[in-house]
A = this chain, B = another copy of it.
């Protein structure tokens, strides 16, 4: 996960203009929150993001994390992932993709769209329904868990 200063500057510039396009101020907090979310494939919860951001901005509050997550969702900079968890999980990967979910530890891995043969419907949909997109969730067990193995804490 090495990243040099130049790359970071470029990303910050890109983020700054994406904010500008939407009339959002580019604050230090926003940049750190976004950089951390976009820098992980872990689909972090607000709480996990808070913990990470706090390492850089100890004074940040959880409310700011929540407010900005909402702002980013509205702006289309983040997406919410559906999981059986009772807490929100976020995804900064805006490309169309699918998910691999470990039934034991809950870990979610992304699968690129082109790893899956396009899904077809064999039968007509209920009348009037128009499909815009679809998402496949594969449920199974990751290497660390394996079926029958208890979830590690």
Contacts and interface: CB of A to CB of B under 8 A. Distances in A.
A146 interface: yes
Contacts of A132: 103, 139-141, 147
B131 A122 contact: no
Contact of A109 (B80, B102, B123, B129): B129
A80 B88 contact: no
Given A130-B140, A134-B138, 19 more contacts: A80-B84, A82-B83, A86-B88, A102-B129, A111-B125, A115-B122, A116-B120, A119-B119, A119-B136, A127-B143, A129-B143, A130-B146, A131-B138, A132-B139, A132-B141, A132-B147, A133-B140, A134-B136, A135-B139
Contacts of A135: 136-137, 139
